[in-house]
Amino acid sequence: DAGITQSPRHKVTETGTPVTLRCHQTENHRYMYWYRQDPGHGLRLIHYSYGVKDTDKGEVSDGYSVSRSKTEDFLLTLESATSSQTSVYFCAIRAPLDTQYFGPGTRLTVL
Amino acid sequence: KNQVEQSPQSLIILEGKNCTLQCNYTVSPFSNLRWYKQDTGRGPVSLTIMTFSENTKSNGRYTATLDADTKQSSLHITASQLSDSASYICVVSGGETSYDKVIFGPGTSLSVIP
């Protein structure tokens, strides 16, 4: 698992509340990613980071923000959660040859 | 548009049988193609990776093939086991922008039954 953990693993929240998901890695990889996975879709990139304080948007970034103040932590924030953000969120790091290692996922339900 | 398509969407096979999963892509320029296995409730795990010059790569009972001319790949599973029940995802690296460099297919859901 390349030393990747995500917290929380499960969360239920209400529409309009802020939510922060955390990804932590222990192997000092430069690139980190946040994806969401929904039935019928491949994993879709939300945001990624290429270093401390260096982040960029992915294909489905609306409604999400990220921060990376330390190499090992990459935070994903939903400023005001909506039901369309109910999903499974995966964090990943990039290893050589573009191989990615994924965390265990966070299942988020927005009621 | 850079895309990865997989077929079939789902598959049920008997334990001990072989099966083949398909992946077609339109990603250009092409860098490499990987197959991932994703067990229910877990993150994807890499099975094989192939670059442009490789046509086949094996990992135990899993054998992946790549035809870069037709932009097709297949994953062949030999002597299936119950533990092979999972989603298999084809991932292609390439594309013109930075974030579409890694493009995921929707996956094939495989169920192996006794």
Confidence of residue A99 (pLDDT cuts 50, 70, 90): confident
Chain B residues whose C-beta is within 8 A of a chain A C-beta are: 4, 31-32, 34, 41-46, 49, 89, 93, 98-107
What's the whole-number mean pLDDT along residues A89-105? 88
Instruction: Give the pLDDT band of residue B2 (cuts 50, 70, 90).
Output: confident
pLDDT for residue B52 is more than 90: no
Percent of chain A with pLDDT over 70: 96
Q: For the residues B64-76, what does the mean pLDDT come to?
A: 95
Top residue of A21, A41, A98, A107 to mutate, by most chain B CBs within 10 Å, is: A98
Q: How far is A103 from chain B (nearest CA, A)?
A: 6
Lowest-pLDDT range, A37-46, B32-41, B53-62, B91-100?
B91-100
pLDDT at residue B32, rounded to an integer: 87
* Mean pLDDT for the stretch of residues B69-77: 96
Q: B88-99: string of b/e by CB count within 10 Å (b at 16+)? A: bbbbbbbbeeeb
Q: How far is B62 from chain A (nearest CA, A)?
A: 18
Per the CB < 8 Å rule, is B106 touching A104? Answer: no
What pLDDT, on the 0 to 100 scale, is given for residue B95? 63
Subunit contact B43:A41, Cβ cutoff 8 A: no
Cβ neighbour number for residue A27 with a 10 Å cutoff: 12
The Cα–Cα gap between A39 and A62 comes to 19
User: Would the pLDDT of A86 be above 90?
Assistant: yes
* Minimal C-alpha gap between A75 and chain B (Å): 18
Å between B25 CA and nearest CA of chain A? 13
Residue B100 has pLDDT above 70, yes or no: no
Residue B44: predicted pLDDT: 94
SS3 per residue for A63-111: CEEEEEEECCEEEEEECCCCHHHCEEEEEEEECHHHCEEECCCEEEEEC
Arithmetic mean of pLDDT, A62-75: 96
The answer, yes or no, to whether residue B96 has pLDDT greater than 70, is: no
String of DSSP letters for A22-53: EEEESS--S-EEEEEE-TTS--EEEEEEEETT
Show the 3-state SS of B2-70.
Answer: CCEEEECCEEEEECCCCEEEEEEECCCCEEEEEEEEECCCCCCEEEEEEECCCCEEEECCEEEEEECCC
pLDDT tens sequence across A17-33: 999 999 999 988 999 99
Task: Say whether pLDDT at B23 is over 80.
Answer: yes
Query: Per-residue confidence at A11, pLDDT binned at 50, 70, 90?
Result: very high
Q: Do A43 and B99 touch (CB under 8 A)?
A: no
Chain B residues within an 8 Å CB radius of A100: 44, 46, 102
* B43 closest CB neighbour out of A57, A97, A104: A104
